[in-house]
Each structure stands twice: as C-alpha cells, then as structure tokens.
Chain A
Amino acid sequence: MSRGDSRRVRLGTWLGTASLLAGSLTLGVGSVSAQAAAKPFKACVVTDTGGINDKSFNASAWKGMQDAHARNKNIVPSYLSSSSSTDYVPNINSFVHEGCGIIVTVGFLMDQATQQAANAHPKQKFAIVDDAPQHLKYHNVLALQYETNQAAFLGGYLAAAMTHTGVVGTYGGMQFPSVTMYMNGFVAGVRYFDKVKGAAVKVLGWTPAKGNCTLATCNGTGTFVGNFTDQTAGKTIAANDFAAGADIVFPVAGSVGLGSVVAAQQAGRGHSIMWVDSNGCVSDAADCSWFIGTVAKGVEASVRDAVLKAASGKFRGGTYLGTLKNQGTALDYGGIPVPAAVKKAIAAITKGIESGRISINPNSYPAK
C-alpha cells in the first residue's frame, strides 16, 4: 500500500460518522413537533395478515375508517398491519397506550387477543369485524357480524336466472364458517330458483350438509383453495368450472377471485364472475364488464358507523348484525345487463327474506 493511498480522503467514513452523530443528536435533543388541533379522536384499526390493501375485509375496515373521517374531520384514522398472529397482542397494546378512542380489529383470528385486551382495559372501546367474542367481562366490545347468506341467496338466484348453460360454480378460500355461509346462501338461491321456475340449474363446488344450514356452523363438501392469496389456483378452478359447462362462477376467496376473472376473460364473453365482499365494479373497476354482480358485506358502513358513534359518545357494546334490511349485506349488480324482470323478482325475494317468508336454508328446497 502506498503512502499516497493512506492519505486519500475517506469521504464515506466521514459521512458515516457525521450521520451517526447527527442521528444521536436528533434522538437526544429533538422535540416533539407533531400533535396539533384540539383533541383529535383517534380511530385505530389492527388489520389481519392481509393488510389494508387486500381488496377484501381489511381494506373495507380501513375504508370505513376513512369514511368516518370524511364525515367527522376530528376523527384521525390510523392502522397497524399484523404480519402474523404473534403481532395481534402487541399491535392492540400499542394502540391502547396510544390512547385510541376506538380500536377496530379484523377477523375471528383476533378474537382471543381482542378479548384479552378488552377485559384488561374496561374503558377502552373495541369493535371486531366478523367475530363474536364469548368471554367478555365488560360491555366495551361491539361485535360486527353479517348474515351474508341472505345476499348470497339473491346472488344464487341471479346466477341461476342468468346462466345459459344451466350450470354455475362456486369455491371458497378456506372452509371457515364465514366463507361457507356465502356458499350455503348461494346454493339455496339456486335451488329456490329451480323450485319456483321448474328449472334444473346445477351448482359445482359446494354441497351443503343436511340440517339447518342457515347457521354459520353448517358444514358441507366442496372446492377450497386453502388460502386467500393464490390467484393461479383461482384461475385453474374457474377454468375447470367453465370446461365443465358452467358460465358463472362465484369465488368466495378474497383476492383469489381475481384469478377467476382472468379465467373468464380467457374463456371469452358469455362467461362471468359473481364477486364477493366489496363491490367488484368499485374495487376492481377495470374488470366491471365481467362481473354479473357482487354479494357484498357491509364492513365499510358498519365500521364507519361504529367509529362515528364512538366519536360522538354514543358507542354501545354488544352485537351488530348486518342483514338485507339494514344493508349490512346486499346484492350489487355488476357490468353485465340484467333483465328488468329478474331485478323485479329479486326485489320481491329481498322482501320475502326480510319478512322471513322465504327460507334461506338450502335444505328447504329439493337438491338437483
């Protein structure tokens, strides 16, 4: 090594040392510059592993928060994503310490973590999406639940009325009650159509068990991807359904369904998708012309209302049950035109379900 070499200016080393020094200075001396406005109401959501961009219920919960902010500017939404179930407890604890006005948790997997935190902090308000904690000590948790089988029934009827081949398909992400509930409603809707119209539309991908299948616990056998992320599997399953003669597929699998949309596009016009959870023509507007409709779950509206109520001091613990009547679940039409007669029939069925006159139990109707 030459002498000249050792005299070279080690610019990088200087920069490194300087940035370290600057860093430690800011750490020690820095002042808290944030914090403004008069007493903002913090609305905090802990998402499941899907994160706020999952185009499904985590995204919906976050959207609900922002809607609440749009109506009441004093509400400041913030979120924490969980990268696994080990993050639930620390994420919730962070928000408890942060002084959140309400903490919204998403999904049954957060049941235990939410319950523990709620029981440890009686004054902290919580809302949990898609779950009903059973061991609460105080009235500080609002359980948001949705009877999605009501809207799925309408979806099944719509699919049966619109199919040209007499075959429709469905599949789920995983075999959970919150998923199979949709599929039970869908099958019930198809069977109801068959009974009323004397048709014989077949459903691929789900056969409900015997018994009362209006309950979330009703099981059955069918096609499941095994996760909510594998879009390739969603494409394969839908393509198989199309090959087996189906022309409408109803994926109940979050973003997996996007793969099925691709399958429909490859199969060509005449093939379509029934979307799930949040209106496909909004969340995936580019593909709107391939959607016959959406069996929607009103996560956004119910989270928004829970946050608004908490912010105005009207929050009450307990259970919120989303139905067709309170628009906690609904059938949205998609980009494919539906004849007025069908829409009229569906409006009438909606009334029938609301009044309890029409059963949404698939076993109330003969299976074809």
Chain B
Amino acid sequence: MSESRRRWWHRLTTRSPLLVTLDALILGFVVGALVIITTTASVLDAWRAMFSSWAAFGHACKLTADVVGAAYRAMFTGAVVDPRIFWHALTTGHGWTLALTPLSETLTYAAPLIIASIGVGIAFQTGIFNIGANGQAILGGVAGAYMGSLVHLPTVVHLPLTLAAGIVGGVVVGLVPGLLKAYTGAHEVIVTLMLNYVVAALLIFTLLSTVLQQPGQQNDISRTLTPSAQLAPLFGAASGLRVNWGLAVAALVVIFAWWFLERSSLGFDFRVTGANPQAARASGINARAVIVLVFVISGGLAGLAGIVQLAGTTHYLDGGFLIGNAGIGFTAITVSLLGRNRPVGIVWSSLLFAGLGVGGRAMQVATGIPLDLATVIQSAVVLFVATPVLVQEIFRLRHAAAGEVRLATSGWGS
C-alpha cells in the first residue's frame, strides 16, 4: 500500500467532524430505505415469500432495489437535475425551464433557511440557544408585510426598507429573551420557545383584525406586497423559475457571518463567551452586552429570513405562514447543528435540507411514497450527527487525537 493511499485510508477511518457528518448522511438514507421497505406492501409481500425458493429471494432483492432506487432517483432528479431532461435541453435548446426547475426550487427553499440558520448558528457559537427563531421570522414577515404592502415607494428605497422592517421585527422579538436573560437571568430556552406561541397568535390577530388583512376578505390572509417590495425572480418572471434575489441576500449574509465570526473583534468576543464564559468575563468581556447583541443579530437574521421567504415566494401572509414543519425557524436549529454552526457548513446543510424537501415532493409525485420520508431522513441524519459515538461505533472509526473533535454546542444553560 503506497504512502498516499495509506494516508487516505487513515483519514477515511478516523473520526473527524466531516466524516461523521457524511457517515450520518449515509445512515440517514439507510434508515429512509428501511422505512420505504417496511411501508411498501409489494416489497413486504416479496420478502414474506422469500423462503419458498431462491427465485423468490432474488425477486425480493430486486424489487427492493427497484423501489428504493426509484424513490431516491426521483428525489435526486427532483432536487438537483434530471440528466435526460437536461441533455434534451442541451441538445435542442428547448425546455431549459423544466431542466432547471429542480435546482431553482431547491435554491428558493434554501435561501431563507440559510439566513435563519446562520442566525441560530451565531447564537449557538456564543453558547446561547435561540429556539425562538421561528417566532422572530414570523414577526419579521409581519413587519415586512406592513412596510411592503401599505407603503408605496420606488423599488430602490422600498425593497431595502421592507427587508429592514423584517429585520426590525425579528430584533424586537429577539430582544425580549435577550434583555430578560441579561438582566434577570431568565432562561432563554424557555422564553424563546414560549414567545413562538405568542407571535403565532399575534400573526393571526394582525391578519384578522388590522389593516394588514386583505380588503374584502374575512379570512386570515394579508394584502399582497406591492411589486416594488418583492424580491424579483433572478432570471425574470418570464423564465418560469422561482429562484429569486433572496438568494443574493443569503449570499451577503453568509459573507457577513464569516467576516463577523472570523475577523471582527465583536465576533471574537462572542466565540470566547461561547467557549468559556468564565474566561470571557475574566478577560473583561461585557457578558450582558454580548447576550443582548447575540439576540439582536440572531433575531434580526431570523426576521430577515421571514421577510425573504415572504417577499421572494408567496408575496402575501396567511395563517399558515411558517407554521408546522415548514417553520424555517425550527428547521434552522437542526440545519445549524448539522452545519456545525459555521457559515459554510450551514450553506451545505441548508442545501441538503432544501433538496430533501423539494426532492421528496418529486418522489411522492413519481412513486407515491409520501414526502414525509424526506423528514424522516432529515431527522435521522440530525440524530446521527448529534450522537457521533454511535456513528463511530457503526462505522468502527478510530478515535481522533485529542482536540480534533469540537462539540457542536456547549451545554445548555451556560
């Protein structure tokens, strides 16, 4: 075995954050496959008959591979690209919209998720659990909707103002737990979690009882953002692709977050506080200011995510805005953990989660397997990432040298 090959082998068998994540991904898809197998009647029937003959056993294996393969293939072609449609577009010059739609959809879903997850990630890096990103995002959407639908200005002013209103909305919700924690020591997990319910109720109130409600409607639906406040499709409305300038906003946020965490002195204070609060205090970092500022930044980014979601896709609010498993603020927590709270990692994990969601839809349309499977895979991946020891044992990885593996977060309550 040559030296370089041996080094590769060593890296592939030694526990490292990246390898654990990749292995967790593989395990997630294995769990997904098991779910498909155990919930598809035809596959189960084939396995039940496997003891009758070798042919039946072979048939069961083949059917399993076909069904699972078809599901994952549909997921891939639905989330990234369908090679055949792409080739058709490449050779004939027609059908580009259809060929690029999967990627466009994945990016459309990923943009607000990236923004919200970076907000959550920055808080995690400071040792603070912001479980309230969803409420912050909802109020960001509400504030942005007021600015975007009731004010009339040219795009150059209106769009930035609308996005700013979204940020302010998120900051307002974020400040409540921030100030409470800094000055009274209230636990941010409880406060942020509970505020989600307050804001969800506030959303319904604004939709049913204020000027935001669409005129002539008694249902929970808001006015539509004026075109000057909308994030236009990146390739124009005629392209038929929904990917919009929200992606550019997300890119700016990633750059900002990288600079903030790696280059700014405030970001350094944040990370020191997260790594060791006592040391931070001893070295003269103002803990109160850090806590409040974390919530300003984290809440502001969540609010921005909410308004990007609104201004980029639906353009109006309704009672189902960011409710349930679509609550990007909740997804952001898992996305951020999967991305190890770092901007670049979060970009990858956001793309993965968005792709699983979008691909899951294509899978359901093509194979009839419910898109909830995508959620199962997402959850399983996160579960495995959160338990590196389990992944290490399953893949029999070597222990890393001390200090190589960093915890994703420090313990709660610190």
Taking the closest CB of chain B, its distance from the CB of A78, in whole angstroms, is: 6
Contacts of B72 in A (CB 8 A): 23, 26-27
Task: Count chain A CB atoms within 10 A of each CB in B76, B316, B319, B370 and give the residue with the most.
Answer: B319
Identify which of B10, B204, B397, B398 contacts A226 (C-beta below 8 A): B204
Question: B323 interface residue, CB < 8 Å from A?
Answer: yes
**Stretch among B62-70, B161-169, B294-302, B342-350 lining the A interface:** B62-70
Q: Which residue of B lies closest to A175 (CB)?
A: B208
Collect the chain A residues with CB atoms within 8 Å of residue B361's CB: 80, 87, 90-91, 94
Interface residues of B in 376-409 (CB under 8 A from A): 394-398
Number of residue pairs A-B, CB distance < 8 angstroms: 127
Q: Distance (Å) between the CB of B59 and the closest chain A CB?
A: 13
Question: Which candidate, B43-51, B119-127, B181-189, B216-224, is the interface stretch facing chain A?
Answer: B216-224
A81 in the interface, Cβ–Cβ < 8 Å? yes
Taking the complex as formed, is B155 at the interface, i.e. its CB lies under 8 A from any CB of chain A? no
Q: How far is the CA of A19 from the CA of B364 in the complex (A)?
A: 23
Question: Are B319's CB and A8's CB within 8 A?
Answer: no
Q: In the complex, are the beta carbons of B326 and A84 less than 8 A apart?
A: yes
Is the Cβ of A19 less than 8 Å from the Cβ of B26? yes
Pick the contact of B242: A6, A30, A78, A90 (CB < 8 A). Answer: A90
A229 CB to closest chain B CB, in angstroms?
A: 9
Residue of B nearest to A48 (CB): B320
Interfacial residues of chain A within 1-57, with CB under 8 A of chain B in the complex: 1, 5-6, 8-13, 16, 19-20, 23, 26-28, 30, 32-34, 48-49
Q: Is B145 an interface residue (CB 8 A)?
A: no
Find out whether the CB atom of B218 lies under 8 angstroms from the CB atom of A49.
no
CB of A266 closer than 8 Å to a CB of B? no
Min distance, Cβ A289 to any Cβ of chain B, angstroms: 33
Q: Is A109 an interface residue (CB 8 A)?
A: yes
Shortest CB-to-CB span from A321 to chain B, Å, is 19
- For chain B residues 301-344, which have a beta carbon within 8 Å of chain A? 309, 313-314, 316, 318-327
Nearest-neighbour CB distance to chain B for A62, whole angstroms, equals 12
Residue in A12, A33, A89 whose Cβ sees the most chain B Cβ within 10 Å: A12
Pick the contact of A109 from B23, B204, B218, B320 — CB < 8 Å?
A: B320
Q: Does B190 contact A (CB under 8 A)?
A: no
Nearest-neighbour CB distance to chain A for B393, whole angstroms, equals 8
Question: Quick one: given A12-B395, A13-B395, A30-B69, are A78 and B368 in contact (CB under 8 Å)?
Answer: yes
- Let me know if A177 and B218 touch, CB within 8 A: yes
Residue tally, chain A, CB below 8 Å to B? 51
Is B365 a contact of A80 with CB atoms below 8 Å? Answer: yes
Q: What 0/1 pattern do residues 204 to 216 of B give for CB contact below 8 A with A?
A: 1000100000000
Known: A97-B98, A175-B208. A83 touches B326 (CB 8 A): yes
In angstroms, Cα B366 to Cα A48, docked, is 20
The distance from the CB of B207 to the nearest CB of chain A, in whole angstroms, is 10
User: Is A138 in contact with chain B by the CB < 8 A criterion?
Assistant: no
B13 CB within 8 Å of chain A: yes
Interface size classification for chain B? 35 or more
Chain A hits for B204, CB < 8 A = 174, 226
Complex: how many Å from CA A82 to CA B76? 20
CA distance A303 to B361 in the complex (A): 23
Chain B nearest CB from A288 CB (Å) reads 29
Residues of A within 8 A of B394 (CB): 12
Give the chain B neighbours of A16 by CB distance below 8 A: 23, 26, 395
Residue B367 is within 8 A (CB to CB) of chain A in the complex: yes
How many Å from the CB of A183 to the closest CB on chain B? 13
B201 at the binding interface (Cβ < 8 Å): yes
Cβ of A108 within 8 Å of any chain B Cβ, yes or no, is yes
Interface residues of B in 89-103 (CB under 8 A from A): 98, 101
- Return chain B residues, CB-CB under 8 Å to A226: 201, 204
- The docked-state distance in angstroms from the alpha carbon of A23 to that of B65 is 10
Shortest Cβ distance from A6 into chain B, in angstroms? 8
With A86-B314, A226-B201 known as contacts, the answer to whether A11 contacts B365 (CB < 8 A) is: no
Q: Given that A13-B12, A23-B72, A48-B320 are contacting pairs, would A177 and B365 also be in contact in the complex, using a CB cutoff of 8 Å?
A: no
Q: Which residues of A contact B323 (CB under 8 A)?
A: 49, 84
CB contacts (< 8 Å) of A283 on chain B: these are: none
Bound: A48/B323 CA distance, A: 12
Which residues of B approach A to under 8 Å, CB–CB? 10, 12-13, 23, 26, 29-30, 65-66, 69-70, 72-73, 76, 83, 98, 101, 105, 109, 201, 204, 208, 218-221, 242, 309, 313-314, 316, 318-327, 358, 361-362, 364-368, 370-372, 394-398
What 10 A-B pairs are tightest by C-beta distance, nearest first? Answer: A84-B326, A12-B395, A26-B69, A83-B326, A85-B320, A10-B13, A16-B26, A83-B325, A49-B320, A12-B396
- 30 A-B residue contacts at CB 8 Å? A6-B10, A6-B398, A10-B13, A12-B395, A13-B12, A13-B395, A13-B396, A16-B23, A19-B30, A23-B72, A26-B69, A27-B72, A27-B73, A27-B76, A30-B69, A33-B66, A34-B70, A78-B368, A83-B326, A84-B322, A85-B321, A87-B326, A87-B361, A90-B105, A90-B242, A93-B101, A109-B320, A174-B208, A178-B219, A226-B204
